[in-house]
Amino acid sequence: MKTGTDLSLVVLLVALVPVLAEAAPTSLNQIPTPDLIPFHQLQLQLANGNMEVSGDASVWHQPQVEPQTQFGLPWRMEAGLDVVPSNPQQDYRPVLNLKWSPLEESYRIPAGAVGITQVGPNFTPDYYFVLSKTLNYDQIAYQKFRAHHRNIKLRGIRLVAGAQVNSRDAWNALVGTDIEVNDHFIVQADWISGARNSVSLGGVLVINQHDSVQAALLRGNDQDRLSGVILQLNHTFDVLSPLEW
């Protein structure tokens, strides 16, 4: 039986996020997760706003680069400011997002977050809540507790589920997963219900503790073909030490 001190140490070890993971985005390909940008850290992102892959309106003919930011706040919160096309598509406008993650993952309790996106002129906000649970949480915690056993490093396998209220006052289910393959690559897949939404498969290449690249392929729920592609470049740094590497 573990003592109280032992259990506290296990919880502390599990809470220590690998440094390289800080460069990865705090979402899956399409849906948010309870992950947060650490306090004082800023993530700069460049994403393709046009995800269509076929026809004259495809990303190859009409690329749309969207600058995005996420900033870690105190009280387990993060906020973001994106510049995205409105109507017409060339009319770029600022939109805000905010996430609060009151639940930290433990042996029995999943991590959880609520948030709001698309807060800005000519946009209707979306609201969401998500929960996530690491399937092999106990094994990872036990391995980290037995620090001298380093022959095999277990990797996290996580499920994410939730719901969002979209701009048309309709509920959509959110389901996804991410699998840590190694220190530099994470496989991601997710799905949003509704005819206008998609299922995705992709991943994140973590280059170092500051930089990562996220890419994914999309298939529309009402389409029988590859319908979209996601590409996003991320750079994360501490605003108090912006030049520290």
Please report which residue ranges of the chain form alpha helices under DSSP H: 4-15, 137-145
Which pLDDT score is estimated for 142? 60
Instruction: Please give the structure tokens belonging to residue 210.
Output: 């500051």
Q: Return the higher-pLDDT residue of 13 and 130.
A: 130
pTM: 0.82
Q: Where are the domains of the chain?
A: 4-238
Q: State whether CATH 3.30.460.10 applies to domain 4-238.
A: no
pLDDT of 166 over the 50 cut? yes
CB 76 within 8 A of CB 101: yes
Among candidates 93, 115, 87, which has minimal Cα distance to 31? 115
36-55 core/surface letters (b: 16 or more CB in 10 A; e: else):
bbeeebebebebbbbbbeee
What is the distance between the alpha carbons of residues 141 and 152, in angstroms, rounded to a whole number? 14
What is the distance between the alpha carbons of residues 3 and 52, in angstroms, rounded to a whole number? 55
Which pLDDT score is estimated for 90? 65
Q: Return the higher-pLDDT residue of 72 and 92.
A: 72
Lowest mean pLDDT among 11-20, 183-192, 196-205: 11-20
Per-residue pLDDT tens over the stretch 205-237 = 999 889 999 999 999 999 888 888 999 999 999
Per-residue pLDDT tens over the stretch 153-164 = 446 899 999 999
